[in-house]
A and B are shown apart, each in its own frame.
Chain A
Amino acid sequence: MLEFKEVYKRYPEFGEALHDVSFHIGRGERVFLTGHSGAGKSTLLKLVAVIERATRGQIVLDGRNITRASNREIPYIRRKLGLIFQDYKLLYDRSVFDNVALPLVIAGFNPGEVSRRVRAALGKVGLLSKEKRLPQTLSGGEQQRVGIARAIVHKPDFILADEPTGNLDPEAAREVMDIFRDFNDLGVTLLIASHDEQLISRCGGRVLRLQRGSLSEVGA
């Protein structure tokens, strides 16, 4: 599903954020990426979504080398992914429904199909009754569930989450993790960056640890 081969990332203003990172994630795996703040977790995820480019090395996603993907190809790479962010990145002038529908509208689904899939996704995160609400009227946990619904509505193979529980209280964090585990049980590949070791150990799964840009495998 995803392979990093000797990947380096250097920010001109900062220096080396990732140093000789290699790993492989198979289809259907559940992988946590951990490490202290500033270790390079977000940078690694950004390389997968081609938000940043690797300085050296190769990144292979679903059998294709995306390291040198052209700007025109980037949207189609991102459509294969489900991205989840610590700050949710919802559109606050649009309803929950419209937020979740966005990936489908972008991909050009017809309105009937859009409603059907949006309702299905909202059902999975338990927010079907709140589709008409604006995001501000929801709690943090609910907003993150909207973010998750948006990330899975187009049925991606691979979900990338960057500190998805970082802004949530423990209760909401556990709910969100349970939702992730359900998806993983259905065969979706997960890569979740988090510095919350406690949550990770309770959730269970393979753990990759970043330390000042270098990766080491901790084991399941």
Chain B
Amino acid sequence: MKRQRRRAQRWGGTSAARRHSGPSPVDRLQSYLVSHLHTAKEALRRMRRTPFAMALTLLVIAATLALPTSFHVLVKNLRMVGGDLEATNEISLYLKPDLSNDAGRRLAERLKNHAQIAETRLVTKEAGIEQLKTYSGFGEALSALNFNPLPVVIGIRPKDSLTQPEQVERLVAELKALPEVDLVQSDIQWMHRLHALLQVAERSFGVLGALLAAAVVFIIGNTIRLELYGRREEIVVQKLLGATDRFIRRPFLYTGFWYGFLGSLGAWIVVGVMLLIVRAPIRQLNVLYGSDFTLAFLGFQETMALVGIACFLGVAGAFAVLIQHLRDVRPE
């Protein structure tokens, strides 16, 4: 604005200052803000004049933004599942069914001295059936059994020094080889696999996100380009009356802003509805597995990021087109 004013003064000259009262600095700032607000409202009103075209464009933008957003929400939820698993980083040893509680206890003692094992926890046959009765809902059916079909289980917590997936794999293989052991189940391996998967997902999120951001820029840019050519005459008249490029660009930048802003709200709603739809099956899974997993939606910061990025993309798309095409619109 300062540079603009200097130019204005230069061309205003002294005679103009004497004979005409140009706007004062305070006036100028106030009217600058007022005119911005007016331009923003005017841009929105102009969009609403062609509601069908506007709705269609917004739909495309919202769908394009919803894609990476829902992907992000998916990864986020998977990472939370991973976190839950990490909290229970136990290796479970299911012993052969004919082994007694005492034999199990002896094995547990022996394993406690293993160099890579921090702690062992014995689940006797009786304790196992109590747990099953409490959590599974098969209580009555189990009470009807007159023998205990469950094996002794030893829970093993590896030492914290076991950070590499291969180290855990090796320990699991070693335990599997014990003659007393029937089955080894390790959530840790599963978790490592999940982590690897999440890493791939995050990397592809970057590529996908960049591609779809470019798509949003393109969609909004194209919309602005059509609008620009529809308003050629108006732009020519404005230029003849002394409008700067900045003044002429402003309404179009606001149009880009509105498309980005409204498109991001649309994407937010789309992802929200998608989560509502999968909420019921998740609840069923929770009942089946006795878990309390809840689906996470977009937090406040993530929502702000979505809206902010979308607005930026809208303005960027408009700006790119204006830089390219405003030069073509000239009075002569």
Contacts and interface: CB of A to CB of B under 8 A. Distances in A.
B332 A51 contact: yes
Contact of A63 (B13, B234, B332): B13
Given A76-B10, A91-B234, A108-B23, A49 B240 contact: yes
B240 A110 contact: no
Interface string B23-44: 1000110111011000000000
Contact of B34 (A64, A78, A89, A111): A111
Contacts of A106: 238, 241-243, 247
B27 A102 contact: no
Contacts of A64: 11, 13
B242 A110 contact: no
Given A83-B241, A103-B241, A113-B27, A73 B332 contact: no
Contacts of B106: none
Contacts of B247: 106
A77 interface: yes
B22 interface: yes
A73 B7 contact: yes
B331 A76 contact: no
Contacts of A174: none
B20 interface: yes
A154 B19 CA distance: 11
A119 interface: no
A89 B138 CA distance: 85
A76 B241 contact: no
Contacts of A62: 13, 15-16
B12 interface: yes
Nearest to B240: A83
A2 B28 CA distance: 29
Given A63-B13, A113-B23, A157-B16, A102 B332 contact: no
Interface of chain B: mostly helix, strand, loop or mixed: helix
A80 B243 CA distance: 12
A59 B182 CA distance: 101
A202 interface: no
Given A62-B13, A155-B19, A157-B19, A108 B242 contact: no
A43 to B, nearest CB: 10
Given A76-B7, A108-B23, A110-B23, A52 B332 contact: yes
A199 to B, nearest CB: 24
A80 B23 CA distance: 14
B60 to A, nearest CB: 27
A79 interface: yes
Contacts of B15: 62, 157
B241 A80 contact: no
B99 interface: no
A120 B112 CA distance: 98
Interface in A63-97: 63-64, 72-73, 75-80, 83, 89-91
A220 interface: no
Nearest to B246: A75
A62 B12 CA distance: 10
B49 to A, nearest CB: 10
Nearest to B24: A110
B237 interface: yes
B12 A109 contact: no
Interface in B46-64: none
Contacts of A150: 241
B8 interface: yes
Nearest to A93: B234
B11 A102 contact: no
Interface in A167-201: none
Most buried by A among B8, B20, B237: B237
Interface string B237-259: 11111111001000000000000
Nearest to B3: A72
Contact of A109 (B23, B237, B240): B23
Given A64-B11, A76-B7, A79-B11, A51 B240 contact: yes
B11 A109 contact: no
Interface in B209-268: 233-234, 236-244, 247
Nearest to A62: B13
B31 A79 contact: no
Most buried by A among B34, B239, B331: B331
Interface of B: 7-8, 10-13, 15-16, 19-20, 22-23, 27-28, 30-32, 34-35, 233-234, 236-244, 247, 331-332
Smallest CB-CB A-B distances: 10 pairs: A79-B242, A76-B11, A110-B31, A78-B242, A75-B242, A106-B243, A155-B20, A75-B244, A103-B241, A51-B331
26 contacts: A49-B240, A62-B16, A73-B7, A73-B10, A75-B239, A75-B242, A76-B10, A76-B12, A77-B11, A79-B8, A79-B242, A80-B12, A89-B240, A102-B241, A105-B35, A106-B241, A106-B243, A106-B247, A108-B35, A109-B23, A109-B31, A110-B30, A111-B31, A150-B241, A154-B20, A157-B16
